Homo-oligomer: A and B are copies of this chain.
Amino acid sequence: MASPAPTSDAFILAAKQCEIGILEELTETCDVVTAISELVHELQRERALSNIHLVSHGERLVPQRRQQIERCRHQEDRLRHLLSRRYLNHPPGHTGMPLLNTIALVLQGMDGLPALRNKISDLGMSPEDATFAFRRLIAGLLSVVFHAADVASEPIITRTLVALFNFMQGKEYAGQERAWGSIGFATGQFNREWGERIEQLQELQNRSFEDFRRFIDEALETQWRAHEADACNTDLNRLRSLIERLCQGDSIDSEISEVWYEVATRRIDGLRAIETALTAALQQTCREQLTRARHDLRSQQSRLSDLVHHQTPLTLLFDTRALPFTDHFQRRDIGSPEQARSVYELMLGQAEQIKQMEEALEDARRALRERKQIEKAKGLLMSELGLSEEQAYARMREKAMRNNQKLAELAVTLIDAADAARENGRAPKN
């Protein structure tokens, strides 16, 4: 007990410094996330070129693939160094464990890329297996973005991260659609299962882009609408209808695969432009919020030293209008901290600002929670009923439609039922 007793001033300023620390870390996180979006884009292209390589028995687009691998390697290196700078130099505190462990898995996956590339060069694996290998690595990278959004605690940045995660997810489904479509057209035929997979990917894209649109501002919404109105989407829909017809059993000249690839790529490049705008907005927001928070700290410091001269005895002991709630103090007549006429009012004003921030976060947090619940319910169906990921998703979608429920609501029902069944000592039945 040698140190002097702390004053409330020290804690008021510590709360502001805490915000600045959060924003500085978020700024580096956003650099990481931007690098991930770039690497994923390059890997998606490499995946497409790898499929063409495999389907054409190593005859087509060989130099393009070689160049693309170089581009990927460059982005891989960049990401590795950013990850190390962001997470090993300043280890994240609370809730950082899933993020760090996912990064470990992804880095080891990236270590395996040279072996994967050799196998593809040697035509030592099927296009399906190659597609799945890239898909898993990209899913791992997306998972890092998800966790980054999950631990972020500034409302605007969190919303943008949630938008970005959903957008990247949608774009990845578009990339998978391109991959499966390429293989199908190149072999000249589709079957019903293949058609269902592609249809499901279209639906997953729509859902992801809808979720993305819930968290963006008007500028991005305008850009999204312009993209949707673009001719490539009309062309794509025409080819999608063709796939539907081919699933009835007809076959088609494999030449059309080039048209499909070109149209799907044009669309994905359009999506990439939106993604770039989104990561630019993210970095812009980080810079602005950091400037604002630093300004707030300075103005609060000077406000505190002003107020010390006309200290009033007002504390929560004597403030009959203060409502001390479990999560926040509340008082109706408090303005911003700048208008405070006492240290006490300044603290209540800051409490009100923090409360508004937390409330603004809730919407984005709920979206992340719902996503986790959907994934968890899907995993339950897969392990309990031995279904594939696609089958589990299809079953959930059907059931949600039949019950007139949102997918997230159905997920909670399934999870609760499984928990109840486990508590009763039996395996859940769905």
Chain A residues with CB under 8 Å of chain B are 1, 3, 5-12, 14-15, 17-19, 21-22, 25, 77-78, 80-81, 83-85, 87-88, 91-98, 100-109, 111-113, 115-116, 129, 132-133, 136-137, 139-140, 142-143, 146-147, 150-153, 165, 169, 313, 315-320, 322-330, 332, 343-344, 347-348, 350-351, 354-355, 357-359, 371-372, 375-376, 378-379, 382-383, 389
Contact = CB atoms under 8 A, between A and B. Distances in A.
Contacts of A5: 77, 80-81, 84
A383 B333 CA distance: 11
A116 B19 contact: no
Nearest to A313: B115
B18 A96 contact: yes
Contact of A105 (B94, B132, B152, B348): B348
Given A5-B77, A84-B3, A93-B25, A105 B329 contact: yes
A77 B6 CA distance: 10
Query: 8 tightest CB-CB pairs across the interface, nearest first?
Result: A139-B324, A11-B104, A15-B100, A112-B315, A6-B84, A8-B108, A93-B93, A325-B375
Task: Give the number of times this chain occurs in the complex, counting copies.
Answer: 2
A63 to B, nearest CB: 24
Main secondary structure of the interface of A (DSSP, over half): helix
Given A98-B351, A325-B376, 6 more contacts: A3-B81, A3-B84, A15-B104, A108-B316, A109-B316, A327-B375
- Indicate the member of A10, A80, A327 with the most B CB atoms within 10 Å: A327
A331 B349 CA distance: 49
B91 A329 contact: no
Contacts of A152: 94
A354 B15 contact: no
